[in-house]
Amino acid sequence: MARTAANGHLKPHLNQNGLKREDIKRNGYHNKREKNGPGTCVASRQHKQESFEQAPMYVAVMTYLGFGIVTLFGYFRDFLRAVGIEKCHLAQEREEQKDFVPLYQDFENFYTRNLYMRVRDNWNRPICSLPGPVFDVMERVSDDYNWTFRFTGKTLHNVINMGSYNYLGFAENNTDFMKTVAEKTSQYGVGVCSTRQEIGNLDIHEELEQLVATFLGVESSMTFGMGFATNSMNIPALVGKGCLILSDEVNHTSLILGARLSGATIRVFKHNNMHSLEKLLREAVCSGQPRTHRPWKKILIMVEGIYSMEGSLVRLPEIIALKKKYKAYLFVDEAHSIGAVGPTGRGVTELFNVNPADVDVMMGTFTKSFGAAGGYIAGKKELVDYLRCQSHSAVYATSLSPPVTEQIIRAMKCIMGNNGSTEGIRRIRQLAENTKYFRARLKEMGFIIYGHEDSPVVPILLYMPGKVVAFAREMLERKIGVVVVGFPATPITEARARFCLSAAHTREMLNQVLHHMNEVGDLFCLKFSRRKHSSRPDLHDETGLELSS
C-alpha cells in the first residue's frame, strides 16, 4: 500500500530496480511488484546471440510443392518398373518372394530410389589431396542419370574447402611440423596389432591420456581409436536398465545408438529448451520408473557442445544448475567444440567459465580440431578407471595408431603453447576472427543462418530440394566445395548447406567464397532473410549494446 502525502499527491521514489521504496521491507524482501531487471546474465546474452529465423510462408509452401511433384513422379517411375517398361537398377525381390512381406516398399527405400539416386553426384565426391583449406577433386560424370559413374581422368585443382572439419588447420603436410610424427612412425611402425587390455598399451598412449587430462583440467582421461565408437561403446558401460537418459532432440546418431544399446529408458527434451528439460526431470524424480515407481538408479543428461547441424551452443550454466538441483549426471559431447571455442581452445567449459569438475563425463573427438582420429572420455579418476575395465571399446577395439597419437600430442601441445610458442593461440584467434567475419557478412547479404555467433559451423538454409542440388553443383563449378545436407539428417523441409570454417582459411579465400555466395544467392533467389542488419559488423559488441534484430 502506498502512503499518500498530505496534499493527496503521490510522488513515487523509484529505486534502481524500478520498485517503490515503500515496497521493500527492512530485510530486503520485495513485496508485491517485481519487475525483471535488464538481462545481464549469461542466459539472456546467449539468447540474443543465437538466431533461428523462420522463413516466410511461401518458402514452406514451395518446398512442399517441390517434394510433392518429385514424389508423384517417384510413384510413376515405380509403376513403370513394376510393370516392366523400365529396368530396375536397385535391389528387387525375386519372383518367388513376390507374395511374401514386401522388403523394399517402405519410405526409406522409396526415398533412396526416387529422390536420392537422381542427385547423388553431390555426395561421396572423391578427393585426391590433403583436406586442407584447398583441395583437389576428381571429376566424375554419369551417363545414365547417376546410377553409375565414371572418372574422366581430370582433376579439379585448388577447390576451396568449406566442408572439412579442419577447425584449427591441423590437417597439414608441412614437414617441419610433422617431424615428431615421422620419428614416431619410424620408431613404432603404423599398426598396433592388439587391444589396450592385451599388448596394445604403448607409452605414448599413457602420455596422451595425461596430456588430455591436463588440457581439460580434469583428473584423468582415456582415449579410444574411433570417435563414433567412443560414444556408442561407452554409454552402455555407464548406464543400464533402470537408468534414465534425457537426451537433446538433435543429438548425434552415435549418442542415440549408445543410448539404445545400453537398455536404459530414453526421454527426449526439446532442443536447448531448459523448461522442457526441467519438466522431464521433475516428472522423473517424482514418478520414478514406469510401472513400479521405484526411483531411477541414475539420471543422465546427454548434450553436445556444438550441435553440428544447427550450429547452436549448449546452455551449459543452466544445465549445470538443473543438474545440481535434481541430482542428475551430465554427459557433454564436445566433438565439434573442443579446440574450436573458448579463449584458449578448451571447449564449452572455458567459454562459459564453468568448473570442469561440474561436468561428470566429458567426451570429445580428435577428428575435428586436431586433424587426427579417435576420441576420449575424461572425468574423475574412478570413472575412467571403471571404463578401462568395463567399456567394450577398451577391451575389444584396437588402440590408437602411433603416428595418429603423436599427431594429437603435437597438436595439443601446440594449442597449449608449450615452449612459449604462440602458434596455437594464433590459430584459435584466427578461427574466431574468421567465424565472426564470415557470419556477419552472410547475415548482411540476407541469408538465413542458424546458430550461435561464435560457432565455426555455419548452416545456411536452402529449404527447396531443387535449389539445394543446384547450389552444390554451381559452387563446384566455381571451384568451391560445399557440403549440402537433406532429409534423413535434417527435417524434411529444412535442407541446408553447412560451411565449416578453418583457421587455415585466409581472408582472400573467405572473400572469394562470399563473392560467389552473393552471386549464387541472387541467381537462385536464396536470400530469404527478412531482418535488416547494419553493414558495419565491427561495431557489434557483446557488452550490452542493445541493437534491434
In the complex, the residues that contact other proteins under the rule CB under 8 A are 62, 65-67, 69-70, 73, 115, 118-119, 145, 464-467, 469-470, 523-525
**With respect to other proteins, which residue has the nearer C-beta, 116 or 188?**
116
How far apart are CB 486 and other proteins at their closest, in Å? 11
Q: Which is nearer to other proteins, 286 or 525 (CB)?
A: 525
Nearer to other proteins, 177 or 524 (CB): 524
Residue 237 phi, psi (nearest 5): -80, -20
62 vs 266 by CB, closer to other proteins: 62
Q: Which of 242, 137, 211, 339 is nearest to 203 (CA)?
A: 211
Q: What is the 3-class SS of 518-541, one letter each residue?
A: HHHHHHHCCCCCCCCCCCCHHHCC
Q: In what order do the strands lie in the sheet with 375-379?
A: 220-224, 375-379, 361-365, 329-333, 299-304, 244-248, 265-269
Q: Judged by CB, which is closer to other proteins: 63, or 529?
A: 63
Distance in angstroms (rounded) separating the CA atoms of residues 237 and 241? 11
- Whether 390 contacts 237, CB under 8 Å: yes
Nearer to other proteins, 66 or 417 (CB): 66
Q: Minimal distance in Å, beta carbon 118 to other proteins?
A: 5
Residues 330, 331, 335, 340, Cα dihedral to 10°: 20
Of 61 and 190, which has the nearer Cβ to other proteins?
61
- Is-contact 350 186, C-beta < 8 A? no
Amino acid at 446: G
The beta-strand segments (E) located in 188-337 are 220-224, 244-248, 265-269, 299-304, 329-333
Distance of closest approach, residue 310 Cβ to other proteins, in angstroms: 25
CA 526 vs CA 365, 379, 439, 463, 506: distances in Å: 34, 45, 16, 9, 25
Closest C-alpha to 333, from 394, 395, 257, 389: 257
DSSP string, 160-222: EE-SS--TT------TTTTHHHHHHHHHH-S---SBTTTT---HHHHHHHHHHHHHHTSSEEE
CB of 70 to other proteins, least distance (A): 5
Alpha carbon distance 352, 4 (integer Å): 48
- The residue written with cell numbers 578461427 in the block is 431
CB closer to other proteins out of 311 and 465: 465
**Shortest CB 162 distance to other proteins, Å:** 22
Nearer Cβ to other proteins, position 52 or 524? 524
Distance of closest approach, residue 117 Cβ to other proteins, in angstroms? 10
Report in angstroms how near the CB of residue 470 gets to other proteins at its nearest: 6
Lookup: cell for 516: 560467389
Q: At closest approach, how far in Å is the CB of 300 from other proteins?
A: 42
Residues 6+ apart with CB under 8 A from 83: none
Name the grid cell of 384.
575412467
Q: Shortest distance, CB of residue 74 to other proteins, whole angstroms? A: 10
As measured in angstroms, the least distance from the Cβ of 443 to other proteins is 23
Task: Closer to other proteins by CB, 134 or 464: give it.
Answer: 464
